[in-house]
Chain A
Amino acid sequence: MTSAPVPASTPEPSFTLSLTRQWMVEHGRRPINVVLLIVVPVVFVTLSAGALADFADILGGASDLGEVEAATAGWAAAVLAGVAGFFHVSTSRDADSRLAAAGAGAGRVVASRLVSTAALVALASLGALVALRVRTDLATSPRVIGATIVFAVIYAGIGVTVGALVRSEMNGSLIVVFAWIFDVFFGPAMGGTAGFIRILPLHFPTLVVTDVASAHAGPLGDVGLSLVWAAVAISIAVVALTATTRPRRHVVRRTSPGLRRVGAAWSAANRQLRRMPAMWILILGLPVAFISASIAVTPSDPTPVELVENGHRGLRLLSMADVHGAVMVPITIGFLASLAGLFVILDSAQADRRLSLTRFRPVEILTVRMAVIAGASLMATAVSIAITAVSFRAVSWSLFILANVLVALTYATIGIIVGPIFGRLGGLYLLLVLPFIDIGLAQNAMFDAAPPAWGRYLPGHGAVRVMMDGAFTPTFDETGALLLALGWLVVLGAVATTVFRRVTVS
């Protein structure tokens, strides 16, 4: 009597469970995992819940200690599950792929990883809830238990996805931890209610656990959207894990020569940018120093500002601290973006010229350099806006962000133009002065309610008008200013392209 052969692709429960057991044993053999399981809940839930509640109160978030205590359990479960999920996958990715290729099949390997990740989610949630039980009896509430598990599931999904896609352990774990920090400190428990913050993974679960109705969840409700987030996070994790575990087919992919060149140049240009520590210190440090300090030292006295509302131009009295907070963003971004343009172009101009003597086309090199400069400028924009968002609330975040992106791209192109013409030192001096005169003086409502006549001819005028409109009025009334800003960008982009071609092509 012979038994029917089992198809290799069919998951075999006993084998999957056996693998799961192996993964859990492997996970437990890393002492740091066990230590984290104890330390994180103790620190977050037992020791620092009171301080976090005070902090949330200062930021205008949940002021009730009980609400924040309940959220701390979810936060602890999320970071534990995220980090555990990340290391669970990243440290064994190549071995998993080899195991799948050896006959275990990607389906079984991925299934076992998911089951063991589910066990880690259970452990993380349990640890957080036990710590919460030590402080309060909230841990017995079905709402708190359910929400805490959802927190852990969402971040386990994020951790597994990052673990599958990011090869470096340091980079991957930092991504998970920074995502979590952003999620917690810009979440509704800390007073974060602005539009774009609602897309953060823990936004709705935090509202559920703190028992606050959002009123913007639609027909699914806060609980429904929390579950959707959990399902999406796990689905993405399954897709990412399957893609990286599945044995590679030995198919030689033919990439078009142009795409291959652009890919290689893009990769090299990014490496160069990453290796400019001074630039990163500026991009990350300057917004903190400029924006935070400016807001902190500015009194909240009223100041008149010219705004357009429903088609009517008029003066409104606004808090000086708010106006300063809003205006410091484009000033900082203009300065940083122009420096990014200047240094990236000057650092690579000669070697780019040599590269253009090979099969590289000037347009390919130009595309890559522009993209890298735009990336650095947008990074400066993101950091500056994030710093401002701590203490300033724009009425329309989307318009505020759009206007600042326009400032970033405009001044990045100015940097590209200035660099080759004036050189490193001359260009640096010019770019210290130009954003200051344009955005810091001419467009700055702190000095004058409306820009002076000569200020209307400067490149930042249109974008800053759009920024002020988004920052302080609910409706969009600055179409002309937006077109002006786009016009500046097109003209400067054309000039930058010409300058770049002159530098890199004979």
Chain B
Amino acid sequence: MTTETVITNPRETATSVLYASGVWKAYRRGWWPRRRTFPVLKGSDLTMFPGEIVGLVGENGSGKSTLMKVLVGDLAADAGTVERTESFGYCPQVPVLYERLTCDEHLDLFGVAYGLEAGELDSARTSAYEELDFARFANTRVEELSGGTRSKLNLALAMLHNPRLLCLDEPYAGFDWDTYQRFWELTARRRETGSSLLIISHFIADEDRFDRIYDLVDGRTVLR
């Protein structure tokens, strides 16, 4: 088995914004003598090109979130290659936020983290609030937000800097119907401007919204 290789710069030889090949990952749980290994990914491959919306589907526990974490660099693979554009945004499945900061304070902090200048940040903030319709919670702390609004902020942080690649792990969990529709409208707008979106989804009904869909079966990706 090859050693783990995660490269954070794009490969110039291809036009892909994301290229993963032969990704292996296993979790090790428990202490000796009950130490056990649970293999999750067994050589997954995935490629994305500019302007694509790609779905990643699979049963509960099939390793979708694990694969996405490996793709964005949140988790080290045991083996395999990942190449990815530097301009990417990641929306984790469970909103990962600072409980005591407000929405505005989150957007400010992540704006600086993405290297946005003050003017760009103002514009990005306004756009995020408008696209997901939660401006009225701008000064509300996360600990006081509903689950749906947390999900909106979670998504807004991923797309704040208008990245070339968006990796979204079930981003619409907790959205109401209107926000769900808004979400697909904004993905369409992003795609028109050349951005690519990798979305983990459970909904078969969403199938026609994707350009391609990967099924994750037995730790391997299968193009549908």
Contact A354 B90, CB 8 Å, known A271-B105, A276-B100, A347-B99: yes
Q: Which residues of A sit under 8 angstroms from B105, Cβ to Cβ?
A: 268, 271
Task: Determine, out of A136-144, A259-267, A308-316, A426-434, the stretch whose residues face the partner at the interface.
Answer: A259-267
Residues of B close to A264: CB separation below 8 A: 108-109, 112-113
- Chain B residues whose CB sits within 8 angstroms of the CB of A359 once the complex forms: 113-115
Interface bin, chain A: 20 to 34
**Cross-chain contact B112 with A272 (CB below 8 angstroms):** no
Instruction: Write the chain B residue with the least CB distance to A265.
Output: B109
Interface string of B58-81 (1 = CB under 8 A from A): 000000000001001111100000
SS of A interface (majority):
helix
In the complex, A358 has a CB within 8 A of chain B: yes
| Contact status B112-A260, CB under 8 Å | yes
| A271 to B157 CA separation, bound complex (whole angstroms) | 19
Q: C-beta contact mask, B74-105 vs A, less than 8 Å → 1, else 0?
A: 11100000000000001010001111110001
- Report the minimal beta-carbon distance from A355 to chain B, rounded to whole angstroms: 6
Also in contact, A355 and B101, with CB within 8 A (given A264-B108, A506-B74, A506-B75): no
- Is residue A348 within 8 Å, beta carbon to beta carbon, of the partner chain? yes
Chain B residues with CB below 8 A from A257, complex form:
115
* Interface membership of chain A positions 333-355, coded 1 if the CB is closer than 8 angstroms to chain B and 0 otherwise: 00000000000000110110111
Q: How many residues belonging to B are interface residues under a CB distance threshold of 8 Å?
A: 24
Contact of B141 among A265, A275, A353, A354 (CB under 8 A): A275
Tell me if A47 counts as interface (CB < 8 A to partner B).
no
* A-contact 0/1 string along B16-29, CB 8 Å cutoff: 00000000000000
**Is B110 at the interface (CB under 8 A from chain A)?**
yes
Q: Do A351 and B98 have beta carbons less than 8 Å apart? A: yes
Is the pair A272, B114 in contact by a Cβ cutoff of 8 Å?
no
Q: Assess whether B92 is in contact with A354, with CB atoms less than 8 Å apart.
A: yes
- Bound complex: CA A276 to CA B98 (Å): 12
Beyond contacts A351-B96, A353-B74, A353-B96: 13 other A-B pairs, Cβ-Cβ < 8 A, are A261-B112, A268-B98, A272-B101, A275-B141, A350-B96, A354-B157, A355-B109, A355-B113, A357-B73, A358-B110, A358-B114, A506-B69, A506-B74
The 8 closest A-B pairs by CB, nearest first: A358-B113, A264-B112, A275-B100, A272-B100, A354-B96, A268-B109, A351-B98, A506-B76
Using a CB–CB distance below 8 Å, which chain B residues touch chain A?
69, 72-76, 90, 92, 96-101, 105, 108-110, 112-115, 141, 157
